[in-house]
Amino acid sequence: MNAHTTADVVHGPGALLGDPDALAALLTDYHLSTEAEKGLPVADASRLPARYLAEIQDPRTAFADDTVFLAVDDGVPAGCLVVTAPDAGTAEIKRVWTAPARRGRGIASVLLRAAVAHCADSGVATVRLSVWSWRTPAIALYERSGFRVTGSWDLREELVCMEYASAVRSHRAAG
């Protein structure tokens, strides 16, 4: 991993290290890639489903209640991750993305560690995420990071649902 990789927590994703378009650009790449992988490629972001387009066009509103992490590698926005606002002791990780040119530098690992620590600090007992089954490198990363496959909460086929019992839950169980 590059020694200059950092994960900055952004509350209210408007102030992204002086580059308000950084998150939108990463999300655009994420959604275009995901649609192509699902066999539903689109020519450009304007043709994405409305819910994804809304995230790209106005991430401040789309993630107003969430915590956004932006990874910066050598001063360049390199990856993102969103943690939903906690609900009944559970938060969900979404939109984990590393720019393809920056992969292999540990950026996603930095983002995951920062997100899990944030959840534990916020009193979240369970952190969950879902990932497409064909994203085997991502599944392996999540497993190395302590996530375990669990029963599905999402009806979409080919989604793998995973959970991480945060330090809050582990500490309570040990006590």
Break the chain into its structural domains and give their ranges.
Answer: 6-174
Indicate whether this model's pTM tops 0.75: yes
What fold, for 6-174? Aminopeptidase (3.40.630)
Distance CA 175, CA 67 (A): 29
Taking only the tens place, the pLDDT of each residue in 29-42 is 999 999 999 999 99
Taking only the tens place, the pLDDT of each residue in 116-138 is 999 999 999 999 999 999 999 99
Q: Which residues pair with 121 in a beta bridge?
A: none
Percentage helix, strand, coil for the chain under 3-state DSSP, each rounded to 5: 40, 25, 35
